[in-house]
Amino acid sequence: MSPRETAVTLALLVLLPAAALAALLLGETFYVTLATRIAVLALAAVGLNIALGLGGLVSFGHAAFFGLGGYAAGVLATHAFNAEPLAFGLAGTTSMPAIWLAAVLVCGLVALPIGLVSLRTSGVYFIMITLAFAQMIYYFAISWPAYGGEDGLSIYVRNAFPGVETAKPFPFFLLAFALLAAALALFHRLQASRFGTALEAARQNPVRLSALGISPFAIRLVAFVLSAMVTGLAGALFADLNRFVSPSMLSWHMSGELIVLIILGGKGRLAGPLAGAALYVAFEHALGGLTERWQFFLGLVLLAVVFFARGGLVGLLAGRPRHG
Amino acid sequence: MSLALLIEQLLNGLQLGVMLFLIAAGLTLIFGVMGLINLAHGSLYMVGAFACASVAAATGSFWIGLVASLAASAAAGALMEITVIRRLYARDHLDQVLATFALILVFSEGTRWLFGSFPLYLDIPPALQGAVALPGGGQYPLYRLAIIGVGVLVAAGLYLLIGRTRLGMRIRAGETDREMIAALGVDIRALYTLVFALGAALAGLAGALVGALQSVQVGMGEPALILAFVVIVIGGIGSIKGALVGAVLVGLVDTMGRFLLPKLLALTLPATQAGPVGAALASMLIYILMALILAFRPSGLFSARS
């Protein structure tokens, strides 16, 4: 990373908690929740950025993992609330670490077969297949009545984390932000590691990579699964943030939004997802307050980004990446 | 389960397949010729439905509405191509996905702005109301049969257009080598706009025809679009023949799955469970079909490009 990009990244990482703290001190807890929303969406996009940014895998189905993470939280909390045992002798739980673990595991286990089939294809086929798998899970969630079906599932009390008052907005923000920071650290390590280099090479020239004795398929599969796990973790947090999970978290629109977050911020850039999520939520809040039709203008802004600002916000602030 | 019911469901599946073909044909043509993935194709379907419903409501004639839907969707397609899509041909698929996703937002919210959030309704034209007797007893709506007929005509027309006319020759040449046909003096920009408008008109036609069966509303395009994607992925992107086979396959599998799976499961499961489990499985069936086909043929059944 260039020194300028490091500065932009650090500034964004300081600004978000500073804004949340300022909102708390001013008694504007609504804005703390908004900052939490930014952190959670950014976390989801960091996950997608592993596949899309580093690996060049345009997954148009990451909402599947976002939603599965959300349902992991919702289902476990519901079973704990009703004191009904889950399948295989497991009980529900309201402990966030256990829920996070479940969300990450479920997403990894689902991403593995999806990746095995989807990564056999490339280009447009990959985009459409990931979309189709996500739709499959979406329709399943809608027509399966046990967990609310189309109406979704409410989480009556926000799940618990040892030593943290999760029901209050600011402590919950800190939890989400800590996870985001951890995911960003993981992304940074990954980018600099041998694995990250191989992934980058698989994107730029898979033939040369296989000539070096590294299978692009295996590298991509690991990246895809890892990416799904991070996005799934974000989904669990998102469900706890809204205390609600519904099939809309699984919809293709959500997959599109996750891609939008990355492009708004800057594809493959460490701070891209955070910048994109901040921009998106600010835009949604500012324009959404002015007009019901804010998505119309979002569409126009996106077109402008595609045509005139391909590096996204981080690209504007920190210049072009060293190798793109 | 009677024979008439089975035939009725088969015809329903065929009718769904034919509708999907109208949408998928344009999508696959645009990808085959221009190498572009167009998420906003569903919006053109919606434009056709809204044009037909509003013009039919104003004039009282479904047929004028149908002509209006063709004109409106072709015009919207040409406008879309000239203002936005044209700049995307040289870009990577990610930019295409993003820009056409943005177009969906613009079209959906724009339509909601113009027509409001309430659905419009479109009546089946009087000439096509009524039903036809099926062998084995039972009746089948004439309108749905007419839709199947339109689909067959369009498929035959496209086959002749692509295989037998000068325009079709240029389209095929454009698929193979765009620099070469440009060097031979064909105005490639105009050709691309024409192909895009043709695909848009087919999608608009599908929208208008379906509009009389379902309510016409914002957001109707996306489920159809995603099914059309499944169709062209199964058939092989860029292949019209693949789109036809894929569409009929998806239409039949989806309809018959919804009809038969709950009944099959009822043989082993208690009735209270068989319904929901069957419905959930049936809604996933075409995606499972797609995954299976791709596991064995990663570029679809009739791939035009490998």
A88: left (phi over 0), alpha (psi -120 to 50) or beta: left
| Residue A324 lies inside a defined structural domain of this protein | no
| Residue A323 lies inside a defined structural domain of this protein | no
Going by pLDDT thresholds of 50, 70 and 90, the confidence category of residue A2 is: confident
For residue A299, the chain B residues in CB contact (below 8 A) are 102-106, 109
What's the number of domains chain A is made of? 1
Q: Pick from A259, A295, A310: which is nearest to B105 by CB?
A: A295
Q: Pick from B103, B222, B298: which is nearest to A299 by CB?
A: B103
* Residue B228: Cβ within 10 Å count: 31
Which residue of chain B has the CA closest to A261? Answer: B98
B224 token code pair: 């159809």
Tell me the nearest-neighbour CA distance from B133 into chain A, angstroms. Answer: 33
Q: Pick from B87, B88, B279: which is nearest to A143 by CB?
A: B279
| Residue A15 lies inside a defined structural domain of this protein | yes
B13 token code pair: 């599946």
Averaged pLDDT score across all residues of chain B: 88
For residue B275, the chain A residues in CB contact (below 8 A) are none
Helix/strand/coil for A61: coil
* Residue A2: Cβ within 10 Å count: 12
Upper half-sphere CA count for residue B245 (Cβ side, 13 Å) = 16
Q: Pick from B110, B284, B291: which is nearest to A140 by CB?
A: B284
Q: Tell if the CB–CB gap between B290 and A132 is shorter than 8 Å.
A: yes
- When pLDDT is averaged across residues A221-229 and rounded to a whole number, the result is 96
Q: Pick from B87, B108, B237: which is nearest to A124 by CB?
A: B237
Model confidence at B120: pLDDT above 80 = yes
pLDDT tens digits along B59-108 = 989 999 999 999 999 999 999 999 999 899 888 888 899 999 999 999 99
| Residue A196 lies inside a defined structural domain of this protein | yes
Q: Tell if the CB–CB gap between A296 and B106 is shorter than 8 Å.
A: yes
Tell me the nearest-neighbour CA distance from B160 into chain A, angstroms. Answer: 28
A201 token code pair: 């090479």
Helix/strand/coil for B212: coil
pLDDT tens digits along B221-255 = 888 898 998 898 888 888 888 999 999 999 999 99
Q: Pick from B31, B279, B298: which is nearest to A124 by CB?
A: B31
Tell whether A132 lies on the interface with B, counting CB pairs under 8 A: yes
pLDDT tens digits along B19-40 = 999 999 989 888 888 888 899 9
Averaged pLDDT score across all residues of chain A: 89
Q: Tell if the CB–CB gap between A252 and B280 is shorter than 8 Å.
A: no
Q: Pick from A60, A120, A296: which is nearest to B105 by CB?
A: A296
For residue A143, the chain B residues in CB contact (below 8 A) are 276, 279-280, 283
Q: Tell if the CB–CB gap between B93 and A124 is shorter than 8 Å.
A: yes
pLDDT score recorded for residue B199: 93
Whether residue B301 contacts residue B246, with contact meaning beta carbons closer than 8 Å, is answered with yes
pLDDT tens digits along A256-308 = 999 999 999 888 888 889 999 999 999 888 888 787 788 898 899 889 988 88
Model confidence at B306: pLDDT above 50 = no
Question: Cβ-count burial of A30 within 10 angstroms (0-12 exposed, 13-18 middle, 19+ buried)?
Answer: exposed
State whether ipTM is beyond 0.90: no
Residue scoring higher pLDDT (A85 or A36): A36
pLDDT score recorded for residue B302: 83
Helix/strand/coil for B216: strand
pLDDT score recorded for residue A62: 95
Going by pLDDT thresholds of 50, 70 and 90, the confidence category of residue A45 is: very high
pLDDT tens digits along A160-198 = 888 888 888 899 999 999 999 999 999 999 999 999 999
Tell me the nearest-neighbour CA distance from B206 into chain A, angstroms. Answer: 21
| Residue A202 lies inside a defined structural domain of this protein | yes
Q: Tell if the CB–CB gap between A129 and B291 is shorter than 8 Å.
A: yes
Whether residue A308 contacts residue A265, with contact meaning beta carbons closer than 8 Å, is answered with no
pLDDT tens digits along B267-276 = 887 777 777 7
Pairing of strands A153-154, A244-245: antiparallel
The owner of tokens 């804004």 is A19
Whether residue A232 contacts residue A250, with contact meaning beta carbons closer than 8 Å, is answered with no
C-alpha A132/C-alpha B209 separation (Å) is 25
* Residue A213: Cβ within 10 Å count: 6
For residue B283, the chain A residues in CB contact (below 8 A) are 139-140, 142-143
The pair phi, psi for residue A85, each rounded to 5°, is: -70, 150
Range(s) of the domain holding residue A141: 3-318
- When pLDDT is averaged across residues A108-117 and rounded to a whole number, the result is 94
* Residue A310: Cβ within 10 Å count: 15
Tell whether B106 lies on the interface with A, counting CB pairs under 8 A: yes
Going by pLDDT thresholds of 50, 70 and 90, the confidence category of residue B298 is: confident
B11 token code pair: 């015809």
Tell me the nearest-neighbour CA distance from B207 into chain A, angstroms. Answer: 21
Query: Domain holding A119: CATH number?
Result: 1.10.3470
The pair phi, psi for residue B136, each rounded to 5°, is: 90, 15
C-alpha dihedral, A71 to A20 to A160 to A182, nearest 10°: 70
Which residue of chain B has the CA closest to A61? Answer: B226
Tell me the nearest-neighbour CA distance from A165 into chain B, angstroms. Answer: 38
pLDDT score recorded for residue B288: 86
Give me the residues of A, 176-235, that contact B with CB < 8 A.
none
Whether residue B278 contacts residue A145, with contact meaning beta carbons closer than 8 Å, is answered with no
Q: Tell if the CB–CB gap between B283 and A143 is shorter than 8 Å.
A: yes
Q: Tell if the CB–CB gap between A299 and B104 is shorter than 8 Å.
A: yes
- When pLDDT is averaged across residues A100-113 and rounded to a whole number, the result is 95
Model confidence at B279: pLDDT above 60 = yes
Model confidence at A90: pLDDT above 80 = no
For residue B287, the chain A residues in CB contact (below 8 A) are 132-133, 135-136, 139
Closest among A58, A71, A110, A43 to A255, alpha carbons compared: A58
Tell whether A259 lies on the interface with B, counting CB pairs under 8 A: yes
